[in-house]
Amino acid sequence: MRAGFAQVTDGFAGQPGVLPVLPALAGLLPGNGLARGAVVAVERPGLLCLALAAGASRAGAWCGVAGLPELGVVAAAGTGVNPGRLMLVPRPGRRWAEVTAELLEGCEVVVTRLPGPPPAPVRRRLEAVARQRGGVLIAAGQLWEGALVRLRVTRRSWAGIGNGYGRVRACRAEVTAEGRGAAARVRSCWLWLPGPDGAVTAAEPAGVTAGEHGGRAQAG
């Protein structure tokens, strides 16, 4: 697997030290992008994870996704991820840490679903690979101690449902970011996650009511 990865890390023209993100997400992150060598934690696996990778993918970066079989090529393409530069490992099982490390060897951004809180030796190993390769690890579903940034969906409302009928067309979500160092200040923004056209873009703030199916997010 690693030998094959050596052939895919070509053609990326990102800024030194930071990978670009979608404009709607830039204000959530220190430096307005994904710091190379860092870990970004997302409270729940979901569309937000793919959206974080989309900006770098559009710029030519290779992206890997491990452990999220429900988020396949169609969902990734909808957020702006380039399917031609995407590596998917839907069910890594007990080898998730090894698979994630190997993806980091050849991909600038790797999204992985954590089966549980990772032991300290596993965290240190994956953080070391990310630093050495200049990649970004997006860890979803479990607490990652020491993550540079932690993101979560705090509120959301659905568009397209009214009076118990209709079809869900879009989701408006408030995303909050906090972390350490340059990311210590709490930041938040409203996003279409996704919008009526399937894209992830900035949204106007919305009051979340019971009629809009609001409250705490179940997935981002």
Residue 24 sits at φ, ψ, to 5 deg, of -65, -20
In the chain, the number of structural domains is 2
Q: What is the percent of the chain with per-residue pLDDT over 70, rounded to a whole number?
A: 82
Cβ-contact 72, 105 below 8 angstroms: no
Residue 141 pLDDT greater than 80, yes or no:
yes
163 shares a domain with 120: no
Q: Residue 45 is part of which domain span?
A: 16-140
162 shares a domain with 84: no
> Across the strands, what pairs with 47?
none
207 shares a domain with 109: no
196 shares a domain with 135: no
pLDDT reported for residue 97:
97
Residue 4 pLDDT greater than 50, yes or no:
no
Three-state secondary structure string covering 25-38: HHHHCHHHEEECCC
Residue 219 pLDDT greater than 80, yes or no:
no
pLDDT reported for residue 84:
95
Cβ-contact 8, 61 below 8 angstroms: no
Centre a 10 Å sphere on the Cβ of residue 155 and count the other Cβ atoms it contains: 20
Q: Is residue 146 part of a domain?
A: no
pLDDT reported for residue 212:
40
Alpha-carbon distances of 174 from 4, 31, 35, 76, rounded to whole Å:
39, 20, 22, 20
Confidence category of residue 210, pLDDT binned at 50, 70, 90: very low
What's the rounded Cα separation, in Å, for the pair 149 and 199?
23
Task: Identify the domain boundary among 140, 166, 187.
Answer: 140
Q: Is residue 199 part of a domain?
A: yes
